[in-house]
Amino acid sequence: MLPEIGVETVDGRRYLTLTYRRRTDDSALNYEVLGSEDLATPLSNWAVQSQTMTVNQDGLSPDMERVKVRDSVAIEGGPLHRYLRLRVTQSDNG
């Protein structure tokens, strides 16, 4: 399932969020939400976002989990545009 972009207001400021579904039965898969204001920036230079938010888990199979991650940069006072992506990596023992 492609991640879903959204907005959450925290302490009166709005932040981008990215909600995705992850497998819980494959520990070799690592999921990271990355943020950047420049699409031309190499993915390796996008900043990892680590602020997770509570999200509804209804309707998921037991081996799946829904995760919502909040951007660290507020829209108010932030750059003119900003983007999030989900990066999935697999460790060698996967």
CB 82 within 8 A of CB 16: yes
Nearer to another protein, 34 or 70 (CB): 34
**Phi/psi at 44 (nearest 5 deg)?**
-65, -20
Q: Nearest distance from residue 18's CB to another protein, in Å? A: 7
How many other C-beta atoms are found inside a 10 Å radius of the C-beta of residue 17?
23
Number of residues written out for the chain: 94
Taking alpha carbons only, the member of 24, 37, 27 closest to residue 71 is: 37
Q: Name the residue nearer to another protein (CB basis): 50 or 90.
A: 90
CB of 62 to another protein, least distance (A): 17
Least gap, CB of 11 to another protein (angstroms): 18
Judged by the rule CB under 8 A, the positions of this chain that interact with another protein are: 1-7, 14, 16, 18, 20, 29, 34, 39-43, 75, 80-90, 92, 94
